[in-house]
Amino acid sequence: MTPEYEFHQRDRDIHPPAFTPVYKTSALRSPRVPLWSLQNSLSEVTGPAFSRDELGPLDNDLIQNYARDGKPIGEQTIVHGRVLDGNDRPVRNTLVEVWQANAGGRYRHRNDSYIAPIDPNFGGCGRMLTDDNGYYFFRTVKPGAYPFRNRVNSWRPAHIHFSVFGSGFAQRLITQMYFEGDPLIPHDSIIATIPDKSAAERLTAKLDLNASLPLECLAYRFDIVLRGSRQTLFENRLHGG
Amino acid sequence: MSSDLYLPETPSQTAGPYVHIGLIPNQAGFDIFDNNFGGDIAGPDVAGERIVIEGRIFDASGHVARDVLVETWQANAAGRYNHPADRQDKALDRAFRGWARTGTDFETGVYRINTIKPGAVAGRRGRKTMAPHISFWIAARGINIALATRMYFGDEAAANASDPVLNIIEQPERRQTLIAARTARDGQTVYTFDIFLGGARETVFFDV
């Protein structure tokens, strides 16, 4: 059976290609044979769903969800926005997961040996489901910049990693969000993997003073767009179905 | 195609070396959530043949990649997806979501998923039934946009021979990169599915 809908062909021009020597690690981790293009079957238009009872009440509060004997150090920050699809429709009840370094630029990860200290009160990960409007929000501390091994003096701008599902497995996306005004953005080798500069701008969250909590918390706005879909009813009729 | 008629998709960025923190925090070495998503998805109430899928992921130099996130999506034992878009007249298994997530081990590089063998799924209109398969989605440091592929089952030779997806791959030799060999070990059924990101044995990846 042809699914009743299928996702629009992914516009590969707005994504980084697999092989990007500016980000050296990609060289040996990038297929050389072009991807085989598949028309969507049920295997691509379906995907996992998650429910609120699978998440804990503090899962979207990175200020509290690993606090031991105090609060984490750093700028208290709200990040919020909507998950939409290419048709400008909200993506409802979809799982959004985030992870990040602490305010000093250090990850709570066994493979991170940067000299900035671990924050005993900060884990660095959170998760939430979008609501009926596709809206999500979480509270955290703004992550710090940190160096990484690419060239001898390569630094990552402050960023938060995002993982989003959508309704079908073909919409699955991992990306990174940056902060408006960060002077490291034009120097970053990971952002530079994206050939389309307007695409890179869409990864930069805008300061949202109206959403900030006075005397408490700054806010940034970051909307995410997953692939849109089209009904296949017309095609089915064309085929006499 | 980009145009003013549609919102352009948010660009992908690499999952980076610390993907474990966000998606498999247990493997990153800390315990933060009460409920963790994982790679053991064949709970006691799930119908179907219990199987283990394991393998390693190699870079183009043949080096084992030990920091890769692996997710899988599959139909249940009857060949139906747990999703409203699947209207096939087959039994839904409410105990089985069909999605697994794990990582390659930091020391051995092996990933492992405990699941059930899926049934065959209807293909697109006018095409043959798809042989039993599992969709794979892998993300890691150095992978700018996650890679999609499929695992097929080595003991399904007849179904694989007529599978509409395997058959669009021009070189029959390359189809073999998607077929996992079945073995028995300690009373378990194990399928070995190694993935090659590049090199002479590069796995077939799909633009889905």
Query: Which residue, chain included where needed, has tokens 């003073």?
Result: A209
Catalytically annotated residue among A66, A136, A146, A220: A146
CB-CB contact of A121 with A69 (8 Å): yes
CB-CB contact of A109 with A148 (8 Å): no
Q: What is the pLDDT of residues B144-203, one digit of tens each?
A: 999 999 999 999 999 999 999 999 999 999 999 999 999 999 999 999 999 999 999 999
Residues of B with Cβ-Cβ distance to A29 under 8 angstroms: 59-60, 65, 140-143, 197-198
- Give yes or no for residue B1 having a pLDDT over 50: no
User: Would the CB atoms of A41 and B165 count as touching at under 8 Å?
Assistant: yes
Tell me, yes or no, if A187 is annotated catalytic: no
Tell me, yes or no, if A135 is annotated catalytic: no
Catalytically annotated residue among A82, A161, A187, A221: A161
Q: What is the pLDDT of residues B76-132, one digit of tens each?
A: 999 999 999 999 999 999 999 999 999 999 999 999 999 999 999 999 876 789 999
Cβ-nearest to B85 among A4, A84, A87: A4
- Which one is predicted more confidently, A20 or A196? A20
Average pLDDT over residues B59-87: 97
**What distance in Å separates the CA atoms of residue A127 and residue A124, rounded to the nearest whole number?**
11
ipTM: 0.96
Using H for helix, E for strand and C for coil, what is the string for chain A? CCCCEEECCCCHHHCCCCCCCCCHHHHHHCCCCCCEECCCCHHHHCCCCCCHHHCCCCCCECCCCCCCCCCCCCCEEEEEEEEEECCCCECCCCEEEEECCCCCCCCCCCCCCCCCCCCCCCCCEEEEECCCCCEEEEEEECCCCEEECCCCCEEECCEEEEEECCCCHHHCEEEEEEECCCCCHHHCCCHHHCCCHHHHHCCEEEECHHHCECCCEEEEECCEEECCEEECHHHHHHCCC
Nearest CA in chain B to A195: B11
A199 falls in which pLDDT band (50, 70, 90)? Answer: confident
**What distance in Å separates the CA atoms of residue B73 and residue B82, rounded to the nearest whole number?**
10
Average confidence score pLDDT of chain B: 96
- Give yes or no for residue A77 having a pLDDT over 60: yes
Question: Beta partners for A139?
Answer: A61, A78
- pLDDT for res A165: 98
- Give yes or no for residue A219 having a pLDDT over 70: yes
Average pLDDT over residues B43-54: 98
- Give yes or no for residue A50 having a pLDDT over 90: yes
Cβ-nearest to A123 among B2, B32, B144: B32
- Give yes or no for residue A1 having a pLDDT over 80: no
Distance from CA of B178 to the nearest CA of A (A): 13
Tell me, yes or no, if A239 is annotated catalytic: no
- Give yes or no for residue A174 having a pLDDT over 70: yes
- pLDDT for res B124: 87
Tell me, yes or no, if A159 is annotated catalytic: yes
Residues of B with Cβ-Cβ distance to A201 under 8 angstroms: none
B29 falls in which pLDDT band (50, 70, 90)? Answer: confident
Nearest CA in chain A to B24: A125
Average confidence score pLDDT of chain A: 94
User: Would the CB atoms of B59 and A28 count as touching at under 8 Å?
Assistant: yes
Catalytically annotated residue among A23, A66, A107, A136: A107
**What distance in Å separates the CA atoms of residue A167 and residue B75, rounded to the nearest whole number?**
15
- Give yes or no for residue A240 having a pLDDT over 60: no
- pLDDT for res A3: 80
**What distance in Å separates the CA atoms of residue B27 and residue B18, rounded to the nearest whole number?**
10
- Give yes or no for residue A241 having a pLDDT over 60: no
- pLDDT for res B28: 78
**What distance in Å separates the CA atoms of residue A129 and residue A56, rounded to the nearest whole number?**
11
